[in-house]
Amino acid sequence: MISRRLDDINRTELFFTATLLPYALIDSDFGGLRKLVGLLKSKGLIPRRHADGVRSSELWNLDWSHPEIAPELYVIRDSKEAQLLNADQFARSKSLGESVPDLVVVIPPLRIAVEGKFFDQSRPNLGELNKQIQKQSKVLRLVFENRCDVTGIMHIALLPEDQERGVCADGVLTWTEVANLSESQLGHQHYVTERLQHAVKRWDHEFGDPDVNPLHNFDGTDKIDGILDRCRIHGAAIQIGFEKGRPKFERDSLEYLQKRTYKFRITGSNLGHATGRNWIDGDIFLEVATTVHWPWKK
């Protein structure tokens, strides 16, 4: 999984949601977007009416004459600049604040918003994701009040894994499905397809289920007391998984650290790729733990 290509080590969400994905969708007069709509329909997803939130399959009767696609849309800012908000909407927008969906697509009568998560963490924080989606929905609802041609809405979460439970979106897509869509639309050897497929493999290599991916980057999990015992035994030969590393470990609350589960890896034998900033050497982890958080565990 090691690649020296800059575009294969890029973990920035915008690279995937605002560069690769839109290219695949726009190709051949929005051929990829038609495939995306087909994928959503194949999952049994039904859009909601803007007026009352009731789902209606009639909203899938789309006008493909002039699709619109806007990555990383600053909804309120850009609507203000274009003078699309009346005085009442402008006043209401101040209380809502800005929100930026990763992608907004309009195919009348339907508006589809996409919020994507990829390498920002091993598993999306559902609480934060749902807050984003709910705020984006309110902002988009406000802005589209004046669009009489857009009467249907759909909000999609784009995630590394199919994780519908607990997500307050209308549906969930995975990056694997997007990579497959790109391959279908652009071909197996196309630049966009190769980047997406490599990213999917890299995510699975770093974070995937060990039963599916034998080259996972950790050897097991344990609670804090077991982890500290392992650190005492193995020292620097073991690493403890902690997103954003030592600085965040030092800052996080004792309550959170006590109840969470930790991944560990034996550095000499584990073949999975590990991002250095998300792992702490065992001797350092033990030192911080028994100095900052649990001095009585020395």
| pLDDT band per the 50, 70, 90 thresholds, residue 94 | confident
Do the Cβ atoms of 165 and 43 come closer than 8 Å?
no
When pLDDT is cut at 50, 70 and 90, the band that residue 2 belongs to is: low
CA distances from 62 to 38, 51, 107, 202, 212 (A): 12, 18, 6, 36, 39
pLDDT of 238 above 80:
yes
- In angstroms, how far is the first alpha carbon of the chain from the final one? 39
Q: Name which of 15-19, 112-116, 217-221, 247-251 the model is least confident about.
A: 217-221
Cβ–Cβ < 8 Å for 160, 175: yes
Cis peptide before 109 (omega within 30 of 0): yes
282 close to 231: Cβ distance less than 8 angstroms: yes
pLDDT classification of 208: cutoffs 50, 70, 90: low
β strands within 133-256, DSSP E: 152-159, 171-174, 220-222, 238-241
**Residues 13/117, Cβ–Cβ less than 8 Å:** yes
Total Cβ atoms within 10 A of residue 81: 9
Q: Output the average pLDDT for the chain.
A: 89
Q: Quick check: 21 and 33 in contact, CB under 8 A? A: no
- Token readout for 207 is 């974070």
What SS3 class is residue 174?
strand
Percent of the chain with pLDDT strictly greater than 70:
93
Residue range 125-169, pLDDT digits in tens: 788 899 999 999 999 998 898 899 999 999 999 999 887 678 999
Greater confidence (122 vs 33) lies with 33
Taking the C-alpha atoms of residue 238 and residue 252, their distance in angstroms, rounded to an integer, is 21
What is the structure's pLDDT at 122? 55
Apex CA 221: angle with CA 117 and CA 279, to 5°?
60
Is the pLDDT reported for residue 23 higher than 70?
A: yes
Question: Which run of H or of E encompasses 90?
Answer: helix 87-96
Write the pLDDT tens digit of every residue in 4-15: 789 988 889 999
Residue 215 has pLDDT above 70, yes or no: no
* Res 203: pLDDT: 84
Inter-CA distances, 82 with 50, 74, 78, 86, 244, Å: 22, 12, 6, 11, 39
